[in-house]
A and B are shown apart, each in its own frame.
Chain A
Amino acid sequence: MSLYSSCTSAASSAGSSVSSTTKTSEIDCLLAGAGYRVRSSDLRHVAQRLERLDAAMVNSPAEVSQLASDVVHYNPSDIASWVDSLLSEFNQTASLPSDLPELPELVVGPVLNQTVLAEDAWTDHDAPQHQQLNNQFPVMTAMEEDSGIRLVHVLLTCAESVQRGDLAFAGSLIEDMQSLLARVNTSCGIGKVAGYFIDALSLRIFTPQGVGFGGGVGLDAAYENEVLYHHFYEACPYLKFAHFTANQAILEAFDGHDCVHVVDFNLMHGLQWPALIQALALRPGGPPALRLTGIGPPSPDGRDSLREVGLRLSELARSVNVLFSFRGVAASRLEDVKPWMLQVRPKEAVAVNSIMQLHRLLGSEPSRNSPMEMVLGWIRNLNPKIMTVIEQEANHNQPGFLDRFTEALYYYSTMFDSLEACTLQPEKALAEIYIQREICNVVCCEGSARVERHEPLAKWRVRLGQAGFRPLHLGSNAFKQASMLLTLFSAEGYCVEEKEGCLTLGWHSRPLIAASAWEALALPDANSPATAPGIFVNPHSNPPVNSL
């Protein structure tokens, strides 16, 4: 009866070769345009399941409220699996409380069961305006607005000249921009961000290449970076979200294991781990024995900062009766770490935790035995129970300078915008310096000095898929907890979104940081049953600038 048949399209992976374990599948492209992923050949089957679920819901209304409140939902884009997971709930007899441990209130703040925190906590702009944390946006005069726009124009023209190699002209534009800067408010908004980008461009134009900026190279830089990182952690929720989401996933992955080992690719002050230690302490059935291996740069002047952090964490673990041991691995670069340094033991469940570290492995040219391939290879060989990956959701690794510059301008403008709401000092000021260093690295550096090579989630999916990892979906419980964390601790405007099993945190509908979890696929083995993870690439994905 329908005159227009559903169109289908083969999902294609990005450019290069497809891993032998993936299949291209015919996805209904109209549903894809609505944000859903259903194979055309599955439509009828999915429809039947939907009918079944509808009937089940009609027949047991009491179960419905439970489906809403207690059940964890995953990856709503995959309608088939979503419906099936709900249907399986109806097959259980009595209602069960969630068996999975949740992060304890004393660390996180918001209580995770409904009776204390009302279910109708709000998100974003739906929240009644009790507190106006972000009410100090000055009204721009028309002239300021004009100057702001002119500034952006000149910035982009300057970047374009740099790309063309016309440094003389670019240099002259720097002067123009500085006088334009004088006419805008540089304490916030476009003026502030523009200022940083003008500085970065100046450095690039007037300083000889090869000098690293913001790369954290050198021992003193490492220490400074730690301090700045800590203030960035305090001033805005991006790192808290990263830790929180990763910990929840790790906790779930460690369920049922008595010996667990977390490998942290960037220990810093170990801010992530107290929460996990306390959650493990409260696990029903008792805590596992926990090993933590923290990787970080070598410390200057004889200090062993890794060990100091380890000691503090040990104290905490002891105070909550968690068997704990720590090992520090000092390495300037992630590619210098060798798996034997981690001393992973045979029976332990391993979690690899990478907060904004993997992108540093991306060299300018993809090649055989690239650092990325090497590192992902040994991670996979560790056979970790889970690998948590948090990365900036941005496309800052494009070869063309102008593209990169423009993307960074958008991205960091949004990030600075979100920081406006922070009133803590000196946290805010130091957080800005932290971000500024990133900007510098993206704009000024090339080759191995440029370590801030951010790439969007869509690219990471492909890369990790090809390296033999399969996504572990982050569910509605993690989403809800993250949302509640934000409403309690941060200004309005931050928003968590679910995207095919991953969670992103953004500012006003622009995602800025993406959290995902992965497990290693079984290494190919003649005896193991064929697994077809069916890694989908969303044909409708919207990376900010270039497509995959």
Chain B
Amino acid sequence: MAGINEVNRNESKMVVPLNTWVLISNFKLAYNLLRRPDGTFNRHLAEFLDRKVPANATPVDGVFSFDVFINRSTSLLSRIYRPAHGEEPQINIADLEKPVTAEVVPVIIFFHGGSFAHSSANSTIYDTLCRRLVGICKAVVVSVNYRRAPENRYPCAYDDGWAALNWVNSRTWLQSKDSKVHIYLAGDSSGGNIVHHVALQAVESNIEVLGNILLNPMFGGEERTESEKRFDGKYFVTIRDRDWYWRAFLPEGEDRDHPACNPFGPKGKILEGIKFPKSLVVVAGLDLIQDWQLDYVKGLEKAGQKVKLLYLEKATIGFYLLPNNNHFYTVMDEISAFVDSNC
């Protein structure tokens, strides 16, 4: 057993830069400590280990941020990132919610990853990622601090996403010149999963979402797919840990064919004929759940929905966290084009 793992470790080291390997391995080992076999989660240690940054109303590289309540009674917070204009050295408290000025301003509602259990909107890695999104898309980014599993199971994360969508949609200061808020949904890992489900709800309630961006989205199912068997334990992720997170998120007693996990599975919803947003789905070629992600793309295509698949053969999970590889820049360009084209 140990021998196989050694091989696996060597494999993963060969496909990512050293600092990326250190970062993701650090996460992997830390997360191993946090997941208990009985399904509970060491939340205190998780919060202690997670690196966070406060919001910063002083523009850094042209972006400033501040935290707002989406819903005070559930303590649902979001971090808003905005581009700074002109040479203001510091944004006034009164200007945080100043109306956006450009003709069209995309507003990206972002759901961070963490397999539904880890990370927060103020995690450093996600703060960094959101700031970059502001720059490349000339957008306002709203990063939602949704409730996490196992303390809060399905559908809490989706409910929080839905609340955030409604909040964003009703902010006059986020409206473009046509008096509408131009909304995109984006997320990685569990965040990508949330994007799908919130978009679905948006369609059912007639709120327009202009596009979905899913980065290594977290999907699954009861079946063990080829990619899961092939990549188990090879590139930082194991089937066992995926199973743990689904058990933590899904309602007790439900299996992985629950539509939250497997939207195009036996219990999934029919998407034919509805006006679902166009989707950009990024799949990493060394991600063990890629077969599920590819099934998701196929499912959208079969339902006549507009979807672009970006398959990155040699990419592992988390490749978008550090700007030190080709895949990172490819994806950022694609996202920028995706958010731009509609406007």
**Chain A residues near B (Cβ < 8 Å):** 1-6, 28, 30-31, 33-36, 38, 43-44, 46-47, 50-51, 53-55, 57-59, 64-65, 67-69, 73, 76-77, 79, 83, 86, 119-129, 132, 134-135, 137, 149, 152-153, 156, 403, 406, 409-410, 413, 476, 479-480, 483-484, 492-493, 495-498, 506, 508-511, 540, 542, 544-546
Contacts and interface: CB of A to CB of B under 8 A. Distances in A.
Nearest to A66: B33
Given A35-B53, A122-B43, A545 B58 contact: yes
The 7 nearest A-B residue pairs measured at CB: A35-B51, A35-B124, A2-B17, A125-B75, A480-B44, A4-B324, A68-B33
B343 interface: no
Interface string B69-95: 100111111010000000000101110
A492 B75 contact: yes
Nearest to A43: B18
A43 B25 CA distance: 12
A58 B1 contact: yes
Given A4-B323, A47-B25, A34 B56 contact: no
B266 to A, nearest CB: 31
B125 A406 contact: no
A121 B46 CA distance: 12
Contacts of A65: 36-37
A46 B94 contact: no
Interface string B44-55: 110111011111
A126 B58 contact: no
Contact of B25 (A30, A50, A409): A50
A55 B2 contact: yes
A42 to B, nearest CB: 9
B322 A30 contact: yes
Contacts of B33: 64, 67-68
B29 interface: yes
B18 A47 contact: yes
B14 interface: yes
Contact of B72 (A34, A137, A153): A137
Nearest to A506: B54
Contact of A406 (B52, B60, B92): B92
Given A125-B77, A126-B151, 18 more contacts: A30-B19, A30-B324, A33-B124, A34-B23, A34-B125, A35-B53, A47-B18, A54-B25, A76-B30, A119-B42, A120-B43, A120-B151, A122-B43, A126-B43, A484-B44, A509-B52, A509-B54, A510-B54
Contact of B6 (A47, A55, A73): A55
Contacts of B123: 35
A326 B25 CA distance: 52
Interface string B1-24: 110011001000111111101110
A123 B43 contact: yes
Contact of B44 (A64, A123, A135): A123
A97 B145 CA distance: 36
Nearest to A153: B94
A363 to B, nearest CB: 25
B294 interface: no
A57 B67 contact: no
Nearest to B56: A542
A476 B43 contact: no
Contacts of A479: 44, 47-48
A285 B275 CA distance: 72
A34 B124 contact: yes
A38 B22 contact: yes
A36 B76 contact: no
A124 B51 contact: no
B245 interface: no
Contacts of B40: 119-120
Contacts of A128: 151-152
B26 interface: yes
Nearest to A122: B151
Contact of B23 (A2, A31, A58): A31
B72 A134 contact: yes
Contacts of B55: 509-510
Contacts of A28: 19
B145 to A, nearest CB: 7
Contacts of B323: 4, 30
A496 to B, nearest CB: 8
A152 B94 contact: yes
B122 interface: yes
B100 interface: no
Nearest to A498: B48
Contacts of B79: 509
B90 to A, nearest CB: 6
Contacts of B75: 124-125, 492-493, 508
Contacts of A476: 44-45, 48-49
B215 to A, nearest CB: 16
Contacts of B196: none
A155 to B, nearest CB: 9
Contacts of A47: 13, 18, 21-22, 25
B77 A64 contact: no
